Structures are given as structure tokens and as C-alpha cells.
Amino acid sequence: MTGPERVLATPSGPTDTDIEVGWRGRISASLIGGFLVGVATGLVVTLWVPGYDGLDQALQGGLAATLAMPIGMIWILFARTGKRAWKRALISLVSLLLLAAAGYIFLKP
Amino acid sequence: MSKKVGPFGISKRQYKLHYDLHSWTGIVAGLVIFVVCLSGSVAIVEHELATWEQPELRLEPASNPQPIGDLVALAMAEVDPRARAEPSPAPGEEGGEEAQRTDSRVFLELPSESHPTLSASFFEDGKWHYKHWDPANGEQIEVGESALSFHTGLHTHLQLPVIGRMLVGFAGLFLMISIISGVAAHPQLVREIFLLRWRPSLRMSFSDLHKQVGTWSLLFGGMLSFTGALLGLFTLFAPVMVLSAFGGDLDKAVEAFSGKSQEFVGETADMLPIGPLVEDFEAQHPGYEVSRLVLTHYGDQAAEITLDLAEAPQRTLDAPESHRLSLVTGETLYVQTFNGRGIGARLMSLTSLLHFGTFGGGFLKLLYFVSGLLLTLCVGSGLYLWLERRRRERADLRSFQILERLILGVCIGQVLATCVSIGAARVSGLQAATVFFAVWVGYVALLFAVPRLRFMVRAGGLASAAALGGVAAYDLVTADFWFARSLPVDASLLVLAVLLAACFAFVPARKSTRVSSEPSRDLTRAA
């Protein structure tokens, strides 16, 4: 039985064991972190991969972001504990901030 | 070194990982995916079934139709007060703000063989309005609310505000993850490609059905989930990507996407004749036809017309083009085309065409419809398997009983509500949204109130079949001269009703005994 199944099937809600397993943390972290990974990847593609024009670059970025998001989600979801999942989400956030800063410094109009 | 499993040669640990992931995505998003898949199957044939659903629109092709320009002028006089000869309010004056809103945009669908009326749609007072005119005499045709449009809305945004579209995008994303992990978690994929066991137990039958339907609709499901996720989540990522691509300049970004719009002036002006404009445009683009017109600020100095050009009939994956012109001077203001504009734009246009199946005519739409239903069946059977696997150990637990009734209620309730709302709209013109939610919520409530679950499941399924068969029979009897054209639709609905009735009359009567299809058993066999 997987973590979320146990959480949903337990009569009195999640037990201590579930919390130890950290599935709730992993689910939340994977949704947030997955989105951040998606945005970060999309930004890289939009800012640094050449396209036909600005519109084309934005669309490329959007496509890349949508593809990267599930990969990021799975990466975070399968962290060994909930705490590690949040660490991975934090790594995603830091990467995104660094990318945004780099984009602003090197590519500002 | 861990043992490799199945045709993909993955390790036992990876196999377990994929199995967990498949299970996890089903638990988190299974119900939303089911709702999106079923409503999507209905939405895909919305355009094709418009005249079936609203018999008032069933007109004989006009032998001597009124000129397009006259019809459009007539339509605009009906739908937009600013189209009349009265002076328009200037910005800042009373009504001026309203005049500047985007709801002064009117979408017009021109008469064609499959759509014999001139139809207008516009957004006003917080909702969409639809009006239709007979091209032969210009008379307005009163029709009831479309149930199919409601189901399209349910598919695209779950009938919720902005967040609905993102939720649907997430559902597509989870479906995509579920499909990939499902393939990896099915080591006997090739060997069991034709395996369908009916006899041993209901659970085994559902397990085989889930695998078969999943395997055979793998490519279709993968494509739909990916394109659906892109369409849904693009709204989530687009602001960031667009702003970064245009250095934070919002105006520039909007202009790149949709061209610069003319601002409402508040002075009336003579409009160019629309009929010759459409004819000239079609003559300049052989093989294409103007499928739709969008009129903005009609009657004003800033009036614009957008002509949507599509292949006639659309048989390739070339993206439709949009040309926006000033309706006062005829000057071209913006041309939106994704063809030959780079890989990002091309992929985005392909995404829409592939997801909506608008490139292959009626037969392709039918294929999409059937495949959509199969995908729905795959999701539904997956949810059922998840419940069955836990029944033996947790049948007495209150939480399990609630979860079981909720899942069955949402899934079978949606099937019932869909059939009843379409039937009610067709027969008596009842508002689809009210009927749909009343039936859906009512069925879920009944499942919780009536202890005989098996009886309720069967009753729900049989009632759905009765509603579907009933509306098909009603249409056959009242079809009149349109009989030949509505016959394929009625026949398809009758076949669906019979299949539905057979499934629900037969399936819930069978015992759901515990059989081995746990991953460990599969693993043992594969190893």
C-alpha cells in the first residue's frame, strides 16, 4: 500500500506512520516544486534558445515548461522523506531565482 | 544486481516506483480526469451535433439565400446596440465604459452545409448568448440552451472561473504521468495484448479491460493528455514566458500575440460591405473558406473585422489563419498565422489541431469520440480496481465506504447526468446546467442514502441507457425531413444505450472475488 492510499483509507485520517513517511509533504512539495522546475526550464528556453521571434520564443518556453513540470514533480515526489522533498522544492526555487537574476542581468533591455 | 522485469528491462525497484506512481496519480486526480475525459468525449462532437440537438436549426439548404452582408447587418442590429444608426456613447459618457469593453465583440458563424444558419455569439452580462438566423428570409430562430456547449465548458474549465482551466491542465498532466507509469508498471504489456478474461471474477475482468483499453488507446491517450496539459497549463506559464521574451513589456507582448487593437472612438462611421469583403478574401485564398467572422466595435470609427480562414474542408495539419482588417478603411491591421513561424508557434498550432481533431472531417471526429469514451472507461476501470483491491481488508471501514460511494457516485452519476441533461435539452429545452448538477448531486446523495450499493449502481447505469435510448427514439420519431441526416446520430446513440444497458445489467450482478493481480504476482511471472 502506498502512502497516499494509506492516508485516504485510514478511518481517522493520517496516522503517525503516514506522517513519518511524509506523503502529504511530498505531494505538496511536488506540486509546488514541479511548478517551479517548469517555470525555471521555460525561462531557460525562452531566454536562451533562439526562435523565429519573441512570440515563438515564448511559445517554446511554454512548451518546455509544461514538459519539465511533470519531470520535476516526479523527481520531488520520490524523495525518500517529506523533508527531503521540501529540500528538492527549495533547490528548484533557488535555481529559479538564480535564473531570473541571470536573465535580468544579462538580457535586460 | 537487481533482476530486470518485463519488455522494458526495468529493475524491480523501478517497477515498484512506477506502480506506486500510477496508483498515486489515480488517487490524486482520478475523479477529475474521469470528468474531463467524459465531458471531452461529448465536447468533441459539439459542432457536428448542433443541429441534432437543436431541431429548430434543421433547415433545408436555402436555394436563394440573402446576401451575407445583409444577413450580417441584420444580425448586428439585433445583437449589438452600437450597430444601430443611433449615435454611440463616447468614452467617459454614460455607457461609454461598456462600449469599450471586449463584449462589444461579436462572433459570427456563416451558413454552411453542416451548419445551415447564420449564428452569432457574444458575451454580455457575465454569460455567453447565442442567436441564429434563417439565411433564406433573415428571420431569427429561437432555440433552447445547448447542452453540448455546457459539456464543452465542463471539459475546458470545469465550469469554474480562471482556476478551472488550470485544473484541467493539471488533470492532463496527471493523465500523462499515469499513462507513462502505467506502461512501465505493466511488464506483460506485449504478452497480454489480447488477453481478456471474463469468467473468473469481476475484478479480473476489469483488470484485463483496464490493461486492454489502456494499451490499445495508448497513443491516443498519450497525445490527448499531452496536448490537453499544454493547452490547460499554458495559461499558467504564459505570463512568465511572454513577459520574459519581451523584456517585461506587456503592451509589446500583447501586440505580438494578437496585434494592436484599435481603441473605441465613439464616432459612428460607415462600415465596408461585408459580403464583397468575404468573397474577395476567399477568391484571394483558393482552397480556403472564411469559417468565422469576428466584429469588434461595429458601427464605430474603430470598427474591425477578423476573418478566420480555414481549409475547405480541413484535411491537413496546417494552422488556420486569422486576418484582421479595419471595417472603415479596409486596411489590414494584423495577420495571425502559426505556419512558417518557428518550432514553438508550429507546435502550439499542432497542439490545438491534434487535441480538437478538426483536421480530418466527420470520420476522424467519430474516432476521437469513441477513443475518448475508451479513455474514460480506462480511467473508470482504474478507479474501480483501486477500490476492489481494498475491499477485502477495509470493506467495514467507514472511510472506505465513503470513498467507495463517492467514487462510484461521481463516475456513474456523471454518466447519468450527461445522458439526462442532453436528453432533457433535446426533448424539452430544459437548461442543461441545472439538470446536470441536479442529477449528479442527487445521484451521489442517493448512493449515500440507499444502503443497497449494487442496486443503485445498476439503476444508475440502466437509467443512463434509458435516457440515451429514449432521446434517440424520440428524435427518430420526430425527425421529419431531416431523418436521413440525424439517423447516424440516433443509431449511434441507440448502440451506445444498448452497450451501456448490457454492461450495467450484467456487470454488477457478478461477484467480485479476490484474485491475484498484485504487482508481486506479476513480478514473479515476469521474472
Q: What is the pLDDT of residues A65-96, one digit of tens each?
A: 988 898 888 888 877 777 888 888 899 888 88
Q: Kindly determine whether residue B345 and residue A10, on different chains, have CB atoms separated by under 8 Å.
A: no
Shortest distance, CA B509 to any CA of chain A (angstroms) = 26
pLDDT of residue B91: 40
What phi-psi label fits residue B159: left (phi over 0), alpha (psi between -120 and 50 degrees) or beta? left
Taking the Cβ of residue B345 and every Cβ of chain A, the question of whether any pair is shorter than 8 Å is answered with yes
pLDDT(A46) > 80: yes
First to last CA, chain B: 14
Answer whether B256 touches A (CB < 8 Å): yes
- pLDDT per residue as tens digits for the range B11-25: 777 777 788 888 888
Do B322 and B307 contact (CB within 8 A), yes or no?
Answer: yes
Write phi, then psi, for B181 (nearest 5 degrees).
Answer: -70, -30
Residue in B28, B242, B345 nearest the CB of A52: B345
Closest residue to B397, CB basis, from A2, A4, A11: A11
Whether residue B403 and residue A9 make contact (CB cut-off 8 A), yes or no, is yes
* Residues of B whose CB is below 8 A from A105: none
pLDDT at A2 (0 to 100): 53
Cα B53 to Cα B432: distance, rounded to the nearest angstrom: 12
- Phi/psi for A81 (5° steps) reads -135, 170
Write the single-letter amino acid at B527.
Answer: A
Indicate the SS3 state at residue B335: strand
Please identify which residue in the block is written with the cell numbers 502506498.
A2
Nearest chain B Cα distance for residue A27, angstroms: 9
A20 touches chain B (CB under 8 A): no
Note whether A66 contacts B28, CB cutoff 8 Å.
no
A69 in contact with chain B, both atoms CB, cutoff 8 A: yes
DSSP state of B128: E
- Mapped onto helix, strand or coil, the DSSP state of residue B318 is coil
Q: Which residues lie below 8 Å from residue A12, measured CB to CB, with a gap of 6+?
A: none
Contact: A59, B24; criterion CB under 8 Å: no
Residue B263 in grid coordinates = 481603441
State whether A59 and B344 contact (CB < 8 Å): yes
Q: Chain A neighbours among B 20-79 (CB < 8 Å)?
A: 20-21, 23-24, 27-28
Question: Sign of dihedral through CA atoms A10, A13, A14, A17?
Answer: negative
Q: Does B239 touch chain A (CB under 8 A)?
A: no
Q: What's this model's pTM, rounded to 2 decimal places?
A: 0.83
Grid coordinates belonging to B72: 450580417
Instruction: Express each pLDDT in A3-33 by its tens digit.
Output: 555 555 544 444 444 444 567 778 888 888 9
CA angle B498, B222, B352 (to 5 degrees): 95
**Chain B neighbors of A55, CB-CB under 8 A:** 245, 256-257, 341, 344-345
Q: What is the distance between the terminal CA atoms of chain A, rounded to a whole angstrom?
A: 53
User: Are the beta carbons of B343 and A27 separated by less than 8 Å?
Assistant: no
pLDDT for res B511: 56
Coil/strand/helix, residue B301 = coil
Give me the pLDDT at residue B8, please. Answer: 62
CA–CA dist B241, A48 (Å, integer): 12
> B124: which DSSP letter?
E
Smallest CA–CA distance from B395 into chain A, residue: A9
Contact at CB, B24 and A57, closer than 8 angstroms: no
pLDDT at residue B266, rounded to an integer: 78
All cell numbers assigned to A16? 503517525
B304: helix, coil or strand?
Answer: strand
A51 touching B, CB under 8 A?
A: yes
Residues of A in contact with B399 (CB under 8 A): 8-11
Q: Answer for the pair B512, B200: CB distance below 8 angstroms, yes or no.
A: no
Residue B60: all three cell numbers together: 433545408
Find, among B363, B379, B291, the residue nearest to B40 by Cα.
B379
- Which is nearest to B347 in space by CA: B335, B358, B338, B357? B338
What count of CB pairs under 8 Å joins A to B? 133
With an 8 Å Cβ cutoff, are B247 and A109 in contact? Answer: yes
What amino acid is encoded at B66 in this protein?
A: Q
B245 touches chain A (CB under 8 A): yes
Chain A interface test: which of B20, B237, B390 (most A C-beta within 10 Å): B237
Instruction: State which residues of chain B have pLDDT below 70.
Output: 1-10, 61-63, 80-103, 200, 313-314, 339-340, 480-484, 507-527
Own/partner pairs, B75-81, CB within 8 angstroms, 24+ separation:
B75/B106, B75/B108, B75/B118, B75/B120, B75/B131, B75/B133, B76/B106, B76/B295, B76/B298, B76/B299, B78/B120, B78/B131, B78/B140, B79/B106, B79/B120, B79/B122, B79/B129, B79/B131, B80/B104, B80/B106, B80/B122, B80/B295, B80/B298, B80/B299
State how far the alpha carbon of B268 is from the alpha carbons of B124, B294, B299, B516, in Å: 22, 19, 6, 76
What is the pLDDT, as a whole number, of residue B414? Answer: 96
Q: What are phi and psi of B63, to 5 degrees?
A: -75, -30
Cβ of residue A70 closer than 8 Å to a chain B Cβ: yes
Q: Could you count the other beta carbons within 10 Å of the beta carbon of residue A30?
A: 25
What pLDDT sits at residue B423? 92
The pLDDT, as a whole number, for residue B81 is 57
